[in-house]
Amino acid sequence: MKFFMDTANIERIREYAELGIVDGVTTNPSLVAKEGKNFEEVIKEISSIVKGPISAEVLSLNTEGMIEEAKKLANIAPNIAIKIPMTKEGIKATYILSQKGINVNITLVFSPSQALLAAKVGAKFVSPFIGRLDDISHIGMDIVSSIRTIFDNYDFQTEIIVASIRHPRHIVEAAELGADIATVPPAVLEKIFHHPLTDIGIERFLDDWRKAFEK
């Protein structure tokens, strides 16, 4: 399974990319706004750090505006994927952009039927937001399972990016269900490294070594 980072924070992206675990990056308007920097410059810098797909989101709500923004964003670097919201206008824009060979990531997906439409018009990625479904007492991961089955049934090549990840269990469940990608916020990625038994184990090994050889 591929790991994308769900952030626009350059320092964190650089830090984890150096570990060799980052296959791509996803951003959205909220994440870019949080950094308080120029949108296009941030996307350009990210795309120079990580070779894999970098998702940059359009702000327009109509097809024409989406296509115009998408063309500008796609010119920033060859690894840009255009994030487009799951609306009728967005689906139309995706249909047009996909035919031109521009990679689209359909975002704000909350049902398998929405994912099916995204795949039909040739989206490269589809992003089910599972944490936001959990937040309203649904089982977010259920739609990932259903989308996997649908894509396999019809051999759709659209890759599933499990998004809105809140904790490491979400990553494990996404992997168990065969999702192609998990896009993970830095804070959740960091949690994977911390296990009390790993820390205790290291301490014990070093302690035993010291007792035996450092008298």
Where does this chain bind ligand G3P (CB under 6 A)?
6, 26, 28, 129, 131-132, 163-164, 183
Shortest Å distance, C-beta 183 to ligand G3P: 6
Q: Which of 34, 72, 83, 92 is labelled catalytic?
A: 83
Question: Which residues are within 8 A (CB) of 165 and not within 5 positions of it... i.e. 6 or more apart?
Answer: 6, 130, 131, 171, 174, 182, 183, 184, 185, 188
Nearest to residue 180, comparing CAs of 142, 154, 152?
A: 152
CB of 26 or CB of 47, closer to ligand G3P: 26
Q: What are 12's two structure tokens? A: 């964190």
Active site residue 83: yes
Grouping H, G, I as helix, E, B as strand and the rest as coil, residue 184 is: strand
Q: What does the alpha-carbon distance between residue 91 and residue 114 come to, in Å, rounded to a whole number?
A: 10
Q: How far is the CB of 40 from ligand G3P (least distance, A)?
A: 18
Task: Select 44 or 166, whichever has its Cβ closest to ligand G3P.
Answer: 166
CA distance 185 to 38: 21
For the bound state, the minimum distance from the C-beta of residue 99 to ligand G3P, rounded and expressed in Å, comes to 25
Which residue lies nearer to ligand G3P by CB, 148 or 170?
170
Q: Which are the catalytic amino acids?
A: 83
